[in-house]
């Protein structure tokens, strides 16, 4: 999968949930990805170096690993 | 059923809590108070002669044919304008009445052609029937006096003729245009003998006038004055079948009036609960595509997309397709396969396609066109209210005091509902329009918006948050409703968020470009103006914050208590005829039918037991993800039923690359559409006239689609999908779509009470139909939200990543036009091209002048994604800095220009915001020329050698 595209998507989700506050936004972003992303997309974002993920998105992707 | 005209009670139905009983020709009749004597007589089984009266317009009392005698009343009152009264005694047939009526009829006939036998309305003419009713035997005035018999026929409209020589000046057409359609295009010009129906100015014919060709005048005409050309060419129908329109989400029901296998005309059905006997130019007239020469009726295959198509038998096509699908599944795994369901096909067909993908292909890679239109509605309304659909029926608008239209253009995209909305507005309801364009509703005859907030494209959330700021900070919220119906903590969080001064209209004005005073006034009107209803369309959803906007709308409705009763609500105007149904049927990759997540073990087990398979518990790919995955080699095969993603989806170059990368693309459609240029298998589809099933409209109304003719390709679409499933080894054996609906009902709680039998009995049902709501649910969330407490969601304004700049200084927004539908595959193959033969670019005069452009010039429209050329239409309907076009024509391919920016929650494309530049052009772009060449090559069909 195009990791740049997935990164953009994850950052966009996080930005739109950020108003909930960091902790809630991280949890909501992780749950959104769990609920709506195909396994290969999840695997790709988890496997990426995540350097271009914004903080909330990066923390959310970190949670996806567990 | 054998052909009979629809019953006409003469005057409209009256709803009243009290009734009156009167006696008509010795028979006692009880009717609601306010009912006319004419209607009461019709209800009792009688028939008073009439010419100027018909039951979809108010009584007029001009023809003097419906005179009656009433005990205690002087003279002979017109029964159409005389209200029935308690104890009234009426006689409809006396020697005096006979003489009066016959005299009037003699006057009419003295100026009417005596060509009944060769007239196209012969045996289907109210004038002829009435002449028979009154016993006309002679015309004492003779036929030599001044008359209108030599007046020329106006044949300018492609679908109907206007023959003034047959006009009796009853005004039914004029009143239908006023009252039913609300366009007010017609008038009676002149006085006395010079009176004549006129389409606007003296120089206007029907085509050049403001007439929108809805057909209301044709339906109202009691003679052959306004008549369908098809009736003139084919003759009077011999049977009629009630079915449901396959165009927009209004879901009008029609009588398909037939001779043999030939469709003569589609006449809106008066008992249709979505349309109440009205129609638009598409549903009424634009069905010629069904028999168009471009239609492909034999299956075709090819090894590679640069080869010509080869016509084959159904067996060979299905065997080839199933073999390829199975081979790809074995080699790359189930997740390499997927499908797209069609919002133009029936619920049953859609259900089967998603079942084939999940149970046959073995993946959840199924999606539907709602991905590119109302997927944010599904997400947003489920999150806030608990269910993915609008809250009201269409009739609810007649109880609205304030109507807020945001990001929708109902007069073009949902015209039959728009007519009803306009009727309510003419009665005095207040209108707020939030739209970058000055849509027709902003100002049209007898209608003017109280507020038009012409916002900067992409700032919906900012505008709605500013409205919420006004409502909360000025104490206009409905605290009682909120306290009883909504989650208190979430409301408190939301109220605190929106009340932040950074959300005031004054602060956000710099972003939205909406004057703060106007926005404050609109917010106050919405919150305090009585019943307030919100109607929205793709101008809400097709943004990077589409889902946020839907939730912001829901927040406003909850904050003001405008949910759960008639006249209020949140109403998405769904685009395609069955897009609501396609979503209901489990077409999204994360949901089974009834919007239940695929990861839910209990739900999945239900399907697994019923279908005898194990389902993947992980969500599948959405359409744009499928295309991305195709480019990385992990997605290899796609079955597309009744969609043209190459033309309809954003960034055409990317869509083409994704399709080209696949090993197998199966297109199941009526025509070789643009997507078929990249396909290996073409399975011919059937039209809505050729199949049984159901559609579900924007008000959750499930209605029957009935087969009126045999499929030209031999099979209904559900049969083709079933045969493909069988070829893949699945043991499906449905013999009729009703069995598929029974399966849907068995597996879907909100459809538990739906069956073809019940639909036959009830006419239609609005889901949920279950134990709690056995007769369906016209209004939702009446006593509580589906999710329990209504959920306020904080929706922060996040600007789109698509930015204007020196290279691309203008914002493009796209939409549709009345005469065309979606990618135009159907409407471009009808006479509707008379009104729109090409996509045009609307540009403000200032922007045009800055670029040296004149109306009609060829212009190049370029974005970061691509460029195309089309003609400019210079108009102040669009604001400076904004340009607008439609996407109906493949020669233009507006989506070459649109980007892949999309809604954060659903990936619904941001069609409404693309940064572009516009410049003069002298011809098509390189891409247009190369695509035209490729398209021509790809559509070749091999000619079999003669034996």
Which residues in chain B have Cβ-Cβ distances shorter than 8 Å to A4?
none
pLDDT in tens, B621-657: 999 999 999 999 999 999 999 999 999 999 999 999 9
ipTM over 0.95: yes
Is B61:B80 a contact under the CB 8 Å cutoff? yes
Take residue B168 and report the two structure tokens written for it. Answer: 């009796």
One domain for residues B525 and B674: no
pLDDT in tens, A31-49: 999 999 999 999 999 999 9
Nearest to B497 among A15, A19, A32 (CB): A19
Q: Which residues pair with B257 in a beta bridge?
A: B240, B265
Is B225:B390 a contact under the CB 8 Å cutoff? no
* Residue B837 lies inside a defined structural domain of this protein: yes
φ, ψ of residue B435 in degrees (nearest 5): -165, 140
Flag if B796 and A36 touch (Cβ within 8 Å).
no
Between vectors from CA B780 to CA B774 and to CA B783, what angle results, nearest 5°? 90
Whether B192 shows a pLDDT value over 70: the answer reads yes
What is the rounded CA–CA span in Å between residue B582 and residue B696?
Answer: 8
Which residues in chain A have Cβ-Cβ distances shorter than 8 Å to B380?
none
Take residue B7 and report the two structure tokens written for it. Answer: 């019953």
B735 lies in which domain range?
313-373+578-766
Cα first-last separation, chain B: 46
Which residues in chain B have Cβ-Cβ distances shorter than 8 Å to A5?
628, 900
Q: State which of B68, B93, B118 marks the end of a domain.
A: B93
One domain for residues B548 and B636: no
One domain for residues B731 and B582: yes
Q: How many angstroms separate the CA of residue A31 from the nearest CA in chain B?
A: 12
One domain for residues B328 and B413: no
Beta-carbon count within 10 A of A44 CB: 21
Q: Which residue is closest to A2 within chain B, CA to CA?
A: B628
Whether B946 shows a pLDDT value over 70: the answer reads no
Is A48:A10 a contact under the CB 8 Å cutoff? no
Mean pLDDT of the B588-612 span: 97
Residue B375 confidence (pLDDT): 93
* Residue whose structure tokens are 């599904």: B378
One domain for residues B401 and B541: yes
One domain for residues B839 and B753: no
One domain for residues B646 and B566: no
Is B133:B47 a contact under the CB 8 Å cutoff? yes
- pLDDT level of residue B200 (50, 70, 90 thresholds): confident
Which residues in chain B have Cβ-Cβ distances shorter than 8 Å to A2?
628, 631-632
- pLDDT level of residue B947 (50, 70, 90 thresholds): low
Q: Which residues pair with B7 in a beta bridge?
A: none
| H or E stretch covering B323 | helix B314-332
pLDDT in tens, B789-800: 999 999 999 999
DSSP state for residue B945 in the 8-state scheme: P
Strands B882-886 and B810-815, sheet pairing: parallel
Nearest to A2 among B628, B795, B904 (CB): B628
Q: How many angstroms separate the CA of residue A37 from the nearest CA in chain B?
A: 6
Which residues in chain A have Cβ-Cβ distances shorter than 8 Å to B382?
none
Whether B868 shows a pLDDT value over 90: the answer reads yes
Whether B201 shows a pLDDT value over 80: the answer reads no
Q: State which of B50, B75, B93 marks the end of a domain.
A: B93
Q: Which residue is closest to B366 within chain A, CA to CA?
A: A38
Is B533:B397 a contact under the CB 8 Å cutoff? yes
C-alpha to C-alpha distances, A36 to A64, B618, B622, B885, B900, nearest whole angstrom: 13, 9, 9, 32, 18
Mean pLDDT of the B897-917 span: 94
What is the rounded CA–CA span in Å between residue B282 and residue B689?
Answer: 15
Take residue B584 and report the two structure tokens written for it. Answer: 């209901």
Contacts within 8 Å (CB) and 24+ apart, B729-733: B729/B322, B729/B326, B730/B356, B730/B359, B730/B360, B732/B352
C-alpha to C-alpha distances, B434 to B159, B443, B569, B931, nearest whole angstrom: 35, 13, 17, 37
- pLDDT level of residue B929 (50, 70, 90 thresholds): very high
Strands B402-406 and B532-536, sheet pairing: parallel
Nearest to A16 among B599, B628, B904 (CB): B904
Mean pLDDT of the B245-262 span: 96
Q: Which residues pair with B199 in a beta bridge?
A: none
Q: If contacts are CB pairs under 8 Å, which of residues 4-63 in chain A contact chain B?
A: 5, 8-9, 12-13, 15-16, 18-20, 32, 35-41
One domain for residues B558 and B598: no
Domain count, chain A: 1
Residue B817 confidence (pLDDT): 87
Nearest to B545 among A2, A16, A32 (CB): A16
Residue B875 confidence (pLDDT): 96
DSSP state for residue B880 in the 8-state scheme: T
φ, ψ of residue B888 in degrees (nearest 5): -85, -15
Take residue B43 and report the two structure tokens written for it. Answer: 């209800």
Q: Which residues pair with B639 in a beta bridge?
A: B339, B666
Flag if A13 and B905 touch (Cβ within 8 Å).
yes
Which residues in chain A have Cβ-Cβ distances shorter than 8 Å to B625?
1, 38, 41
Report the share of chain B in percent with pLDDT over 70. 100
Take residue B110 and report the two structure tokens written for it. Answer: 């003295």
C-alpha to C-alpha distances, B548 to A46, B70, B449, B804, B906, nearest whole angstrom: 26, 63, 25, 22, 11
Flag if B629 and A38 touch (Cβ within 8 Å).
yes
Flag if A1 and B599 touch (Cβ within 8 Å).
no
Residue B433 has, within 13 A of its CA and on its CB side, a CA count of: 21
Take residue B809 and report the two structure tokens written for it. Answer: 């200084």
Mean pLDDT of the B226-250 span: 96
Beta-carbon count within 10 A of B691 CB: 25
One domain for residues B590 and B557: no
One domain for residues B551 and B410: yes
What is the rounded CA–CA span in Å between residue B101 and residue B255?
Answer: 33
Q: How many angstroms separate the CA of residue B325 from the nearest CA in chain A?
A: 20
Take residue B481 and report the two structure tokens written for it. Answer: 């409703």
DSSP state for residue B241 in the 8-state scheme: E
3-state secondary structure of B917: strand
Which residues in chain A have Cβ-Cβ distances shorter than 8 Å to B795?
19
As a whole number, the mean pLDDT across chain B is 95
Substitution target in B549, B657, B904, B908 with the highest count of A β-carbons within 10 Å is: B904
* Residue whose structure tokens are 């009445």: B97
pLDDT in tens, B17-59: 999 999 999 999 999 999 999 999 999 999 999 999 999 999 9
Substitution target in A5, A9, A12 with the highest count of B β-carbons within 10 Å is: A12
Which stretches of B401-464 are assigned E, i.e. beta strand? 402-406, 430-434, 443-444, 447-448, 451-453
Substitution target in A15, A16, A23 with the highest count of B β-carbons within 10 Å is: A16
Which residues in chain A have Cβ-Cβ distances shorter than 8 Å to B621?
38, 41
Substitution target in B379, B625, B792 with the highest count of A β-carbons within 10 Å is: B625
Is B936:B904 a contact under the CB 8 Å cutoff? no
Which residues in chain B have Cβ-Cβ distances shorter than 8 Å to A35?
590, 597, 599, 619
Flag if A39 and B794 touch (Cβ within 8 Å).
no
Q: Which residues pair with B448 in a beta bridge?
A: B443
- pLDDT level of residue B553 (50, 70, 90 thresholds): very high
Q: Which residue is closest to B629 within chain A, CA to CA?
A: A1
Which residues in chain A have Cβ-Cβ distances shorter than 8 Å to B597?
35
Residue B816 confidence (pLDDT): 87
- What CATH number does residue B864 fall under? 2.40.40.20
Which residues in chain A have Cβ-Cβ distances shorter than 8 Å to B549?
none
Is B819:B412 a contact under the CB 8 Å cutoff? no
Take residue A14 and report the two structure tokens written for it. Answer: 């996080």
Is B215:B279 a contact under the CB 8 Å cutoff? yes
Whether B924 shows a pLDDT value over 80: the answer reads yes
C-alpha to C-alpha distances, B494 to A32, B791, B935, nearest whole angstrom: 20, 10, 52
Which stretches of A7-55 are assigned E, i.e. beta strand? none
Is B644:B889 a contact under the CB 8 Å cutoff? no
Residue B944 confidence (pLDDT): 75
Give one DSSP letter per residue of B627-692, joined into a string: HHHHHTTS--EEEEES--HHHHSS-HHHHHHHHHH-SEEEEEESS--SGGGG-SEEEE---GGG--
Nearest-CA neighbor of B894 among B833, B835, B838?
A: B838
Q: Which residue is closest to A31 within chain B, CA to CA?
A: B905
Flag if A16 and B548 touch (Cβ within 8 Å).
yes
Q: State which of B766, B799, B820 marks the end of a domain.
A: B766
Q: Which residue is closest to B908 within chain A, CA to CA?
A: A9
Mean pLDDT of the B483-493 span: 96
Q: Which residue is closest to B597 within chain A, CA to CA?
A: A35
A57 lies in which domain range?
3-64
- pLDDT tens digits for chain A (66 residues)? 899 999 999 999 999 999 999 999 999 999 999 999 999 999 999 999 999 999 999 999 999 987
Whether B290 shows a pLDDT value over 80: the answer reads yes
Flag if B628 and A15 touch (Cβ within 8 Å).
no
One domain for residues B425 and B340: no
Is B119:B161 a contact under the CB 8 Å cutoff? no
Flag if B335 and A18 touch (Cβ within 8 Å).
no
One domain for residues B587 and B549: no
Is B727:B319 a contact under the CB 8 Å cutoff? yes
Domain count, chain B: 4
Residue B1 confidence (pLDDT): 65
- What CATH number does residue B558 fall under? 3.40.228.10
Give one DSSP letter per residue of B708-755, joined into a string: -S--TTSS-HHHHHHHHHHHTT-----SSHHHHHHHHHHH-GGGTT--
Cα first-last separation, chain A: 21
Which residues in chain A have Cβ-Cβ distances shorter than 8 Å to B801?
8, 12
Flag if A1 and B632 touch (Cβ within 8 Å).
yes
Find how far residue B808's CA is from the centre of its chain: 34
What is the rounded CA–CA span in Å between residue B291 and residue B294?
Answer: 8
Which residues in chain A have Cβ-Cβ distances shorter than 8 Å to B620?
38
DSSP state for residue B912 in the 8-state scheme: T
Beta-carbon count within 10 A of B303 CB: 9
Substitution target in B905, B909, B910 with the highest count of A β-carbons within 10 Å is: B905
> Cis omega (within 30 of 0) on the bond before B881?
no
What is the rounded CA–CA span in Å between residue B877 and residue B888?
Answer: 20
């Amino acid at each position: 999968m195009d990791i740049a595209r997935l990164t953009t998507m994850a950052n966009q989700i996080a930005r739109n949930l950020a108003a909930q506050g960091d902790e809630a936004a991280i949890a909501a972003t992780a749950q959104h990805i769990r609920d709506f992303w195909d396994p290969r997309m999840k695997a790709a974002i988890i496997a990426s170096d995540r350097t271009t993920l914004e903080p909330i998105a990066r923390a959310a992707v970190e949670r996806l690993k567990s | 059923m054998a052909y009979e005209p629809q019953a006409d009670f003469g005057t409209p139905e009256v709803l009243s809590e009290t009734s009156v009983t009167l006696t008509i020709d010795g028979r006692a009749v009880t009717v609601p108070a306010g009912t006319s004597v004419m209607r009461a007589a019709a209800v009792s089984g009688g028939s008073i002669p009439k010419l100027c009266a018909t039951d979809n317009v108010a009584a007029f009392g001009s023809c003097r044919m419906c005179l009656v005698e009433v005990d205690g009343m002087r003279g002979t009152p017109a029964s159409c304008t005389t209200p029935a009264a308690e104890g009234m005694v009426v006689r409809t047939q006396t020697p005096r009445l006979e003489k009066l009526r016959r005299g009037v009829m003699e006057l009419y006939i003295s100026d009417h052609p005596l060509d009944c036998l060769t007239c196209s309305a012969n045996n289907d003419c109210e004038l002829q029937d009435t002449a028979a009713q009154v016993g006309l035997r002679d015309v004492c005035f003779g036929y030599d006096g001044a008359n209108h018999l030599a007046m020329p026929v106006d044949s300018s409209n492609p679908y109907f003729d206007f023959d003034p020589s047959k006009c009796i000046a009853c005004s039914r057409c004029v009143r239908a245009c006023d009252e039913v359609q609300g366009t007010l295009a017609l008038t009676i010009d002149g006085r006395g003998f010079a009176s004549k129906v006129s389409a606007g100015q003296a120089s206007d014919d029907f085509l050049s006038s403001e007439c929108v060709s809805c057909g209301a005048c044709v339906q109202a005409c009691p003679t052959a004055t306004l008549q369908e050309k098809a009736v003139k060419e084919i003759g009077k129908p011999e049977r009629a079948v009630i079915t449901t329109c396959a165009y927009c989400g209004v879901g009008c029901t029609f009588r398909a009036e037939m001779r043999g296998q030939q469709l003569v005309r589609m006449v809106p059905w008066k008992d249709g609960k979505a349309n109440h006997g009205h129609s638009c130019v598409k549903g009424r007239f634009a069905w010629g595509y069904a028999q168009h020469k471009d239609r492909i009726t034999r299956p075709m295959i090819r090894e590679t997309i640069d080869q010509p198509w080869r016509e084959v038998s159904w067996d060979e096509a299905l065997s080839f397709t199933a073999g390829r699908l199975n081979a790809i599944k074995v080699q790359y795994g189930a997740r390499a396969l997927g499908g797209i369901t069609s919002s133009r096909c029936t619920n049953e067909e859609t259900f089967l396609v998603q079942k084939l993908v999940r149970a046959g292909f073995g993946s959840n890679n199924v999606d539907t066109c709602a991905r590119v239109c109302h997927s944010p509605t599904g997400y947003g309304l489920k999150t806030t209210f608990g269910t993915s659909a609008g809250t009201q029926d269409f009739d609810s608008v007649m109880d609205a005091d304030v109507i807020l239209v945001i990001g929708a253009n109902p007069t073009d995209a949902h015209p039959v509902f728009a007519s009803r909305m306009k009727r309510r507005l003419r009665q005095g309801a207040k209108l707020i329009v939030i739209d970058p364009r000055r849509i027709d509703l902003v100002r049209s005859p007898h209608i003017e918006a109280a507020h038009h907030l012409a916002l900067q494209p992409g700032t919906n959330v900012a505008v709605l948050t500013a409205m919420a700021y006004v409502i909360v900070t000025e104490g206009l919220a409905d605290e009682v409703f909120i306290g009883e119906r909504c989650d208190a903590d979430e409301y408190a969080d939301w109220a605190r968020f929106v009340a932040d001064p950074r959300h005031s209209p004054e602060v956000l004005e710099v972003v939205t470009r909406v004057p703060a005073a106007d926005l404050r006034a609109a917010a106050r009107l919405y919150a305090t103006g009585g019943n307030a209803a919100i109607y929205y369309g793709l101008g809400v959803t097709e943004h990077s914050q589409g889902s946020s906007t839907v939730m912001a709308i829901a927040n406003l409705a909850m904050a003001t208590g405008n949910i759960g009763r008639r006249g209020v609500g949140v109403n998405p105007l769904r685009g395609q005829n069955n897009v609501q149904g396609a979503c209901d049927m489990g077409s999204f990759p994360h949901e089974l039918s009834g919007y239940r997540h695929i990861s839910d073990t209990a739900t999945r087990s239900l399907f697994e037991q019923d279908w005898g398979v194990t389902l993947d518990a992980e969500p599948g790919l959405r359409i744009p993800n499928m295309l991305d995955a195709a480019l990385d080699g992990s997605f290899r095969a796609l079955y597309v039923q009744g969609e043209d993603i190459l033309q309809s989806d954003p960034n055409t170059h990317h869509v083409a690359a994704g399709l080209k990368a696949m090993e197998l693309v199966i297109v199941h459609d009526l025509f070789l559409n643009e997507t078929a240029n990249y396909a290996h298998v073409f399975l011919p589809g059937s039209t809505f006239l050729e199949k049984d099933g159901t559609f579900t409209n924007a008000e959750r109304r499930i209605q029957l689609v009935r087969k009126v003719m045999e499929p030209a390709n031999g099979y209904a679409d559900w049969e083709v999908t079933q045969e493909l499933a069988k070829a893949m080894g699945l043991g499906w054996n449905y013999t009729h779509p009703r069995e598929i609906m029974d399966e849907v009902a068995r597996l879907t709680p909100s459809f538990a009470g739906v069956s073809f039998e019940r639909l036959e009995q009830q006419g239609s049902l609005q889901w949920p139909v279950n134990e709690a709501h056995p007769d369906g649910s016209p209004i939702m969330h009446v006593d509580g939200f589906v999710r329990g407490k209504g959920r306020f969601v904080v929706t922060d304004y996040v600007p789109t990543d698509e930015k204007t700049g020196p290279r691309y200084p203008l914002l493009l927004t796209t939409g549709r036009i009345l005469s065309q539908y979606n990618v135009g595959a159907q409407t471009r193959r009808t006479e509707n091209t008379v009104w729109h033969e090409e996509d045009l670019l609307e540009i403000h005069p200032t922007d045009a002048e800055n670029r040296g452009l004149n109306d009609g010039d060829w212009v190049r429209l370029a974005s970061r994604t691509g460029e195309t050329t089309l003609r400019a239409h210079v108009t102040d309907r669009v604001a400076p800095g904004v340009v607008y076009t439609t996407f109906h024509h493949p020669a233009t391919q507006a989506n070459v220009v649109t980007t892949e920016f999309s809604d954060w929650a659903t990936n619904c494309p941001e069609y409404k915001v693309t940064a572009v530049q516009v410049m003069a052009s002298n011809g098509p772009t390189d891409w247009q020329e190369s695509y035209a060449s490729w398209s021509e090559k790809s559509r070749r069909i091999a000619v079999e050698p003669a034996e």
